[in-house]
Amino acid sequence: MQLDFSKNINIKSLFPENEFEEKVISFLQDWFSHSETVSVQTSGSTGIPKVFEIEKKRMLNSAKMTCDFLGLKEGDTALLCLPVQYISGKMMLVRAIERKLKVIISEPSSTPEISQNTDFCAMTPLQVQNSLNKIYLIKNLIIGGATVSEKLKKEISTTLQFSNSPTRIYETYGMSETLSHIALKQIAPVQEEYFTVLNDVEISVDERNCLKIYAPKLNPEILQTNDIVELMHFDSAQCDEKQFKFLGRFDNVINSGGVKIFAEELESLVKKHIDRDLVFLGKPDETLGEKLILVIEGKNEEHFKSEILNLKFENKFHIPKEVLFLEKFPRAENGKVLRKEILKFLTD
């Protein structure tokens, strides 16, 4: 199915060929109804899944901010390959409505069907991983739902290096409460270190250095996150802070012997050398409070242990006390690794 929002669409004349197309049409019926809100379900990756109502005007504001950032214009094409029960899929349709795009509807799968040149698409890291030989067909690709691994970044760079493609790829930062993302970080062709927030978004930090988001066009409340960040400061005291580097979740900070360790920072370092999914965790310990351990997904391979011990960690506290293996990590539906479940399994 293809939908051209640069023209008037008669929803009643659309005939779905599968369950996903039915869900797309159902959302469009809700969107063009007299209701001022639509229902959105959270993924459940950071808590119990819940459904809440979002004002359509705020979703349109979000859509405009993203389309302006990427320079999308009326008549451009977009590929929808994300589930529409979540904000990520819904927002792809809202962006198409706001900017009058032509949308190719592709049933969500871990290997999206990409068969033609497209101006815009949003995918999960797993979808990108399985589509490396096709991403050169997409002019603007945003990746969300989970962290983009160092390994995937390298593979993206290598793939596009020989394609002579104008493709721009961005990692996103956001949550359901911010109506998808509020910041983007380019990972190809240039690999940026800091996220840049969209227009009309203000950021600051609390006493924990956790990010606070004020985006009145998206959410009337100041959103307090548990994400520890480093703000990019400019020389001019007059200059607004518009960029930040993600360091790790406050929930994931490991306190080992009084030393605070950011799990995600260590994971980024190790993933540059180990071709596996992995997590650093704090295992309860009578002496240290929390003992730093590394859990690698997959079968036990002893050579990984020696490779890790030979890495140049910033200090000795970053060297894991144990290296364990778990054949398959528990994950949420969107692919995020459930750290607490892993720790519970290891400590029960």
The whole-number average pLDDT for the span 26-53 is: 79
Which CATH number characterizes residue 82's domain? 3.40.50.12780
At 236 the pLDDT is 47
Which CATH number characterizes residue 282's domain? 3.30.300.30
pLDDT tens-digit readout, 46-99: 455 677 789 999 999 999 999 999 999 999 999 999 999 888 999 999 999 999
At 163 the pLDDT is 78
Residue 214: inside a domain: no
Residue 190: inside a domain: yes
pLDDT tens-digit readout, 235-259: 544 445 789 999 988 988 999 988 8
Residue 327: inside a domain: yes
Using CA atoms, how far apart are residues 95 and 100, in angstroms rounded to an integer? 8
Q: Are residues 118 and 260 in the same domain?
A: no
Respond yes or no on whether the N-terminal peptide bond of residue 189 is cis (omega within 30° of 0): yes
Residue 174: inside a domain: yes
257 torsion bin: left (phi>0), alpha (psi -120 to 50), beta (else): left
Last residue of a domain, one of 155, 173, 199: 199
Strands 51-55 and 37-41: antiparallel
| 63 and 91 Cβ atoms separated by less than 8 Å | yes
Q: Are residues 140 and 48 in the same domain?
A: yes
Using CA atoms, how far apart are residues 305 and 313, in angstroms rounded to an integer? 14
- Better pLDDT: 120 or 14: 120
At 314 the pLDDT is 82
Residues spanned by the domain of 304: 253-347
Q: Which of helix, strand or coil describes residue 63?
A: helix
Residue 220: inside a domain: no
Residue 102: inside a domain: yes
Q: Are residues 84 and 181 in the same domain?
A: yes
Cα separation of the two ends of the chain:
49
At 258 the pLDDT is 86
Using CA atoms, how far apart are residues 145 and 216, in angstroms rounded to an integer? 23
Using CA atoms, how far apart are residues 298 and 325, in angstroms rounded to an integer? 6
The whole-number average pLDDT for the span 11-30 is: 92
At 48 the pLDDT is 57
Q: What's the total number of domains in the chain?
A: 2
pLDDT tens-digit readout, 92-127: 999 999 999 999 999 999 999 999 999 999 999 989
Residue 74: inside a domain: yes
Q: Are residues 187 and 112 in the same domain?
A: yes
Q: Are residues 191 and 264 in the same domain?
A: no
Last residue of a domain, one of 199, 232, 267: 199
Q: Which of helix, strand or coil describes residue 5?
A: coil
How much of the chain is in helix, strand and coil states, percent to nearest 5? Answer: 30, 30, 40
Q: Are residues 132 and 264 in the same domain?
A: no
Q: Are residues 268 and 343 in the same domain?
A: yes
Q: Are residues 180 and 298 in the same domain?
A: no
| 229 and 212 Cβ atoms separated by less than 8 Å | no
pLDDT tens-digit readout, 298-341: 998 888 888 888 888 888 889 999 999 999 999 876 677 899 99
| 154 and 132 Cβ atoms separated by less than 8 Å | no
In Å, what is the CA distance from 86 to each residue of 66, 76, 89, 283? 17, 23, 6, 33
pLDDT tens-digit readout, 254-288: 999 888 899 998 998 888 888 888 999 999 988 88
| 45 and 332 Cβ atoms separated by less than 8 Å | yes
Using CA atoms, how far apart are residues 172 and 82, in angstroms rounded to an integer? 15
Q: How many residues does the chain have?
A: 348
At 240 the pLDDT is 59
Q: Are residues 150 and 259 in the same domain?
A: no
Using CA atoms, how far apart are residues 29 and 13, in angstroms rounded to an integer? 12
Q: Are residues 43 and 142 in the same domain?
A: yes
Q: Are residues 170 and 267 in the same domain?
A: no
| 76 and 101 Cβ atoms separated by less than 8 Å | yes
The answer to whether residue 43 scores a pLDDT higher than 80 is no
Nearest to 260 by CA among 289, 294, 229: 289
At 91 the pLDDT is 95
DSSP state of 66: H
Nearest to 336 by CA among 268, 276, 277: 277
The confidence band for 42, taking pLDDT boundaries of 50, 70 and 90, is low
At 109 the pLDDT is 93
Q: Are residues 73 and 176 in the same domain?
A: yes
Cβ neighbors of 278 (< 8 A, separation 6 or more) are: 267, 270, 271, 294, 295, 296, 297
**Could you give the percent of the chain with pLDDT greater than 70?**
95
Residue 228: inside a domain: no
Which tokens sit at 222?
């100041």
Cβ neighbors of 17 (< 8 A, separation 6 or more) are: 1
The confidence band for 209, taking pLDDT boundaries of 50, 70 and 90, is very high
pLDDT tens-digit readout, 167-190: 999 999 998 788 889 999 999 999
At 234 the pLDDT is 59
Last residue of a domain, one of 164, 199, 234: 199
